[in-house]
Amino acid sequence: MDVTRIDQIAIAVEDLDAALAFYERAFGLRASHREVVESDGVEEAMLDVGGVWLQLLAPTRPDSPVGRFLARSGPGLHHLGFGVGSVEAALDHLRDEGVRLIDEAPRPGGSGHTVAFVHPKGTDGVLVELVEDEHRHPADGPEADAG
């Protein structure tokens, strides 16, 4: 399995509008993309930081994974996203290595991504999202397809 890049660093927040205002005021960052991902029960905003996405995640319902994370841990680092050539091949490799998975098969994520999550118990406590390279964020522009 080849990890090609860090796709995103995801932060769970309770109030997406307040978090966006803070990151704009404090760091001069602005959202390039924002959407609700009903299947995951989140609203996300993507902020480009030198080619790595800072993903702010707010729950749309308390029983979503991010809602449960906030109830248990409060706001903070939620997961790290790795770009891979093929999520399916990455899952096969990790399964062969005995790594515990959350998603047994690739699934749709935000912005048309193909994604899968790796359980933090298999990665020394870090929730990892695998993001297929061909599915980049719309805000990436045409140059994203060249790399």
The reported pLDDT for the residue numbered 146 is 33
The full set of domains in the chain, from first to last, is: 3-142 (3.10.180.10)
Question: pLDDT tens digits, the chain, 147 residues: what are they?
Answer: 889 999 999 999 999 999 999 999 999 999 999 999 999 999 999 999 999 999 999 999 999 999 999 999 999 999 999 999 999 999 999 999 999 999 999 999 888 889 999 999 999 999 999 999 764 544 444 333 333
The reported pLDDT for the residue numbered 112 is 84
User: What is the side-by-side order of every strand in the sheet holding 128-132?
Assistant: 31-37, 42-49, 52-59, 3-12, 76-84, 128-132, 114-118, 107-108
The reported pLDDT for the residue numbered 73 is 96
The reported pLDDT for the residue numbered 140 is 47
The reported pLDDT for the residue numbered 110 is 85
> Model-level pTM?
0.86
The reported pLDDT for the residue numbered 139 is 47
Tokens of 59: 């729950």
The reported pLDDT for the residue numbered 145 is 35
